[in-house]
Amino acid sequence: MKFEKYPFSQEVKKNISDAGLKRPTDIQYKSITPILNGDDVLAVAQTGTGKTAAFAIPVIDILHKQKRSNRSNGIKCIVMAPTRELALQITEVFQQMAKSTKVKTLCVFGGVDQDPQIDRLQKGIDVLVATPGRMFDLVSQGHIKLDKIEVLILDEADHMLDLGFIKDIKDLIKFLPRKRQTLFFSATINKKIKSLAYSLVNKPVRIQISPKDPVSKNVSHFVTYIEPDHKRFFLERMVSENPDSKILVFVRTKIRAERVCKAMARVNIEALTIHGDKDQQNRLDVLTRFKEGEVKVLIATDVSARGIDIPKVDFVVNYDLPEQAENYVHRIGRTGRAKHKGQAVSFCSKEELSILDEIETYLDKPITELEFDNQTYQETIDFTSDHTNDWKSLMKEFDNIDFDDSELKKPKAKNKKKKKKAKKK
């Protein structure tokens, strides 16, 4: 079924066409009609499958038709997202689908001055996209009224639970009308998520896309065994051999991100970092430069792994394996989005073998090993452009980086089964 066959207004159909969308993805096909019918929806789908458009398109169409009928003003839809980057991305989709309509969308989040957000709220909006902290600040100050909410959307709900927002979500419900439509979207689901979801929805339409394979079929993923001190050499080689490729590198901590960035700078590879210690404007600037291809290498912590749509990422590199197996899925979901192919490569040290076990158990299949013979492995180290092997001077170089040393903890593995043996190099 093509989008033009749906009973959308002409304005919304034009916006869909302008966005280059012709046929709905599986999650869009299964979600749009129930949302248009006013049903609650509980949807679980992989990252990169078009979840945002799945709820944005029908909600914009509904609100646009209400506005044409001169329905009362006030915020009609609230979308809660776990991170500022995801909230801004959702806002972009809503605004794109609302062009030439009277539907107005505003994004509010912390880390920036609230006064411009308050000014915009006072002018009137229809859709509010928000992170929990700033939203509750503005609700408590009386700047946000939730009594006319008709649609509540929770996006990346599992991540909001991970970040400790479950109390905020439950508190939010107290402010909302009982008669409302609730849309619950997530990339993964577990007992905790199910419990929360079913406490919020009423006889929902349940949708689950590819539940047995959480990894996109567009992504080829590999693991290679590398000693911790050698990872920077292999990243250098990978970037050098793929100079035109957009590469997103994930590390475990903020200090690791800065150290890897410094290591790349020493071999004349320009890279940017994004993590929780960066202010909001810096994070937005970094994402823009990476999205537009001005810089080809972005080094990130898991703050960027959830829901961020960065066009045409060619490689995701797990420089450090994630502490939680689910985060592996969210990380590599940054590549292979829509119809594009992507590759994910994990650098696994001996200390991370137990985490690799957990990831493979979660995926219910092994990750293909990318093998290096001893000669190739040694050549990668020997032919690096980085000849700074005085580790005392390297550590001194990082003394000016002001981070919390408590981050430097070893990953904890829950899976105690027998570990694989890394190949000796």
Question: For the whole model, what pTM was predicted?
Answer: 0.69
Q: Say how far apart CA 79 and CA 251 lie, in whole Å.
A: 29
> How much is the average pLDDT of 141-150?
92
Q: Which of the four pLDDT bands, split at 50, 70 and 90, describes residue 362? A: confident
* Chain centroid, CA 424 distance in Å: 35
Asked if the model's pLDDT at residue 392 lies above 80, the reply is no
Asked if the model's pLDDT at residue 157 lies above 90, the reply is no
Q: Say how far apart CA 207 and CA 390 lie, in whole Å.
A: 55
368-369 and 271-274 beta bridge pairing: unpaired
Domains along the sequence of the chain with CATH: 3-208 (3.40.50.300), 219-407 (3.40.50.300)
Asked if the model's pLDDT at residue 406 lies above 60, the reply is no
307 close to 86: Cβ distance less than 8 angstroms? yes
> How much is the average pLDDT of 163-191?
83
Q: Which of the four pLDDT bands, split at 50, 70 and 90, describes residue 5? A: very high
DSSP 23-73: S--HHHHHHHHHHHTT--EEEE--TTS-HHHHHHHHHHHHHHHHHHTT---
Structure tokens at 137: 């600040």
How many other C-beta atoms can be found within 10 angstroms of the C-beta atom of residue 378? 13
How many other C-beta atoms can be found within 10 angstroms of the C-beta atom of residue 292? 9
Residue at 349: amino acid letter: S
